[in-house]
Amino acid sequence: MNFELSDIPVRPKKPRNSGLTMMMDKGLSIRQAEDFLSVASNYCDLVKLGFGTSYITPGVKEKVALYQKAGMKVYLGGTLFEAFLIRGMFDEYLRVMDKFGLDSVEVSDGSLQITHDLKCEYISLLAKYYTVLSEVGSKEAGILIHPKIWKSMMQKELDAGSWKVIAEARESGTVGIFRPSGKAHVSLVKQIVESVKAEDIIWEAPQKSQQVWFIKELGPNVNLGNIGYDEVIPLETLRLGLRGDTFMSFISHKSQVIKTEPKVPEKVTSKNKMKEITVKELKSKLDKKEDIQVIDCREPYEFEIANINAQLIPMGEMMDNIDKIARDKMVVIHCRSGARSGNIIQALEAREGFTNLYNLKGGILAWADEVDNTLTKY
């Protein structure tokens, strides 16, 4: 985090079993996926390649590899599983899984009709080789399933080998666990969680109002799915109580009236100018064998694309690795363009009192332009 706040809910670290966020990729380009990962990889756990988009989207295998390197489980939408199944092409589906390097799979029956026993047989078979997520509920509007049946199907699928069961809502959030208006079937949800462990369920909740309802009802570490790629960070702020909808949900004192008078601090550290170093200046110092620590605060998948042999400490892990940052010599921190490294330097100076940190101006992109043009730019 970039600074400290009290009364912030504790979020489990990845890889985690609860508090999961599943992002629905509806056909992002590789560049869009890279941009998404550069800011949201710490807040996303699973990626579903929505419905049949992987049939027509270019670069699927490369994109899957990017997500997996960022520590995310990736799987094809359940509709595609059903598309293969209804055509009698289950073996071909497995070959597609192998082609894309997938280790997770969704088993669903929202668009076709198969017996629940047969669905559980598919789950049991696939669970021997993959992490299985199974979806419960119909994609058809107006079809109501009794709570007892919801609970029974969910538990049977977990017993058959599903890692998580997904409560159907579609990308619209207007079927399954939600009414056509988008409001939750409150009684249904409450009856489900009375019988099935909350950590075993991923609730599809594409609308912000639905996410808010689940967070208030089941807490900040409820598992939520069908989240748009541009809604993952906004969802995380809802989980942390840093958005108006959940603002008072996690405050230890509930008074909204502030009575303390404002005081101007003696020193405002944010006004201190950050020290910077250009790529040519750094190259010169390194060539002279000066004693400098260079830290790369990007994500591991970015480091694999291009690096300058710096020490990798991802931005999200920096505060947990303070002991790895030298205080007795120049420390240069860099990212892709200089923005993330600048933010983490400000946090380290304000919170940990560092005075020897320098931001690499322009980041690795500037290094590729001015020092080593053989580096891959991304």
Q: Which residue has the tokens 């609970």?
A: 151
3-state class (DSSP) for residue 128: coil
Q: Are the beta carbons of 114 and 134 closer than 8 angstroms?
A: no
Using DSSP's 3-state secondary structure scheme, residue 141 falls into coil
Euclidean distance between CA atoms 351 and 354, whole angstroms: 8
Considering the candidates 44, 120, 297, 335, report the single residue annotated as catalytic. 335
Strands 21-25 and 224-227 turn out to be: parallel
DSSP state string for 49-84:
E-TTGGGT-TTHHHHHHHHHHTT-EEEE-HHHHHHH
d(CA 72, CA 206): 19
Structure tokens at 375: 């580096």
What H or E segment, with its residue span, contains residue 24?
Answer: strand 21-25
In sequence order, the 6+-apart residues with CB closer than 8 A to the CB of 19 are 11, 12, 220, 221, 222, 223, 239
Q: Is 44 an active-site residue?
A: no
Q: How many residues does the chain have?
A: 378
Q: What separation in angstroms does the CA of 21 have from each of 107, 174, 283?
A: 19, 19, 41
**Rounded distance between C-alpha atoms, residue 38 and residue 301, angstroms:** 9
- Relative to beta strand 73-76, strand 276-277 is unpaired
Structure-token pair, residue 51:
């419905």
Between β-strands 276-277 and 224-227, what pairing exists: parallel, antiparallel or unpaired?
Answer: unpaired
Amino acid at site 288: K
SS3 call for 136: strand
Alpha helices, DSSP H, located in the chain = 30-40, 60-69, 78-86, 90-100, 116-127, 147-160, 186-195, 208-218, 232-239, 279-287, 300-305, 339-352, 363-370
Catalytic residues: 335
